[in-house]
Structure 1
């Protein structure tokens, strides 16, 4: 199955935009939020299950790409069927919360607030995946790795917060 094709068609410009917004947005947000914060972060106590820092950009780039494809597929299906849905507004909201988390946790050191925000983020991701699935099953399925990673990240955020009160 070609995950980029929707009903046998690919709108390359819309697909590229759908992927580039989260990938570039996540990269810029990460750079802005993490500038000068990494030295402080390295001093924090880490839980035993914390992955090496080099893993995060790889995972996030992959997840942002999958999210972008999912958004593209859902958006294209709704356009073809002339349907309206909460899927895209929910997607946009969760993406905004995703970007905000880096500032809360890294830049501003508000780890407890970041934990609360990530809980809301996880709920919005699940709602987005549900709405995507109603429009396009593949789009919903493409959000599952994101749900898994944010669930893991929630546990990591909690552990770092607890270890460094």
Structure 2
């Protein structure tokens, strides 16, 4: 006899989506200052994408992140059974938003570099934990890992090019 399938935990799923949207909104509001005089005056590496590309890439990445987290939640059946990977997911959302605050809000490229390095490690941990529940959910996180790896290069380059040494 096949095991009975548990219904999807809708409450936890809705909270996950709301937290994701909140992180997207926080990052968008804070980084909208990208057009301000401070950011415009920064020296940037040659590989810096045009500003519009960021507003195209980030929504796609957040959809992939949320889809993976929902797959983990669905596979686990309850938030309690997925507390480790989803705890990492929620922490990652907060750290992602904090990077925007550190870089654009506080204009502290050194702090932002430390934050994004921590974010990169959280993504690695999230991928590993997601894989325990769903390999496809883990694979959906690789574009995010690649983008954040590129963002580390940008952050580090901006820090180096604009330091008063």
After TM superposition, is the score higher than 0.5? Answer: yes
Structure 2 residue aligned with 1:52:
50
Offset, 1:29: 2.9
Q: 1:112 aligns with which of 102, 110, 113?
A: 110
Return the alpha-carbon distance in structure 1 between the equivalents of residues 82 and 67 of structure 2.
19
Unpaired segments ≥5 residues, structure 1: 1-6
**Bigger shift: 85-94 or 124-133?**
85-94
Structure 2 residue aligned with 1:152:
150
SS at match of 2:81: coil
Return the alpha-carbon distance in structure 2 between the equivalents of residues 132 and 36 of structure 1.
33
Kindly report which structure 2 residues correspond to 1:82-101, keeping only aligned pairs within 5 A, or say none. Answer: 83-101=81-99
Query: Is 1:75 the counterpart of 2:73 in the alignment?
Result: yes
**Bigger shift: 19-28 or 133-142?**
19-28
Structure 2 residue aligned with 1:4:
none
How big is each residue's C-alpha offset from its partner over 1:12-67, in whole Å with a ceiling of 9 and x where there is no partner? 88666544532443133321353486321011001000000000011000000100
Q: 1:21 aligns with which of 14, 19, 22?
A: 19
Q: 1:67 to 1:84 in 2, by over 3 A?
A: closer
Return the alpha-carbon distance in structure 1 between the equivalents of residues 118 and 159 of structure 2.
17
TM-score (norm 1): 0.84
Query: Is 1:128 the counterpart of 2:126 in the alignment?
Result: yes
**1:18–1:69 contact (8 Å) kept in structure 2:** no
Return the alpha-carbon distance in structure 1 between the equivalents of residues 74 and 144 of structure 2.
21
| Number of residue-to-residue matches in the alignment | 158
Moved over 3 A (4+): 9-21, 32-37, 82-85
Return the alpha-carbon distance in structure 2 between the equivalents of residues 99 and 131 of structure 1.
21
Return the alpha-carbon distance in structure 1 between the equivalents of residues 29 and 108 of structure 2.
18
Offset, 1:157: 0.3
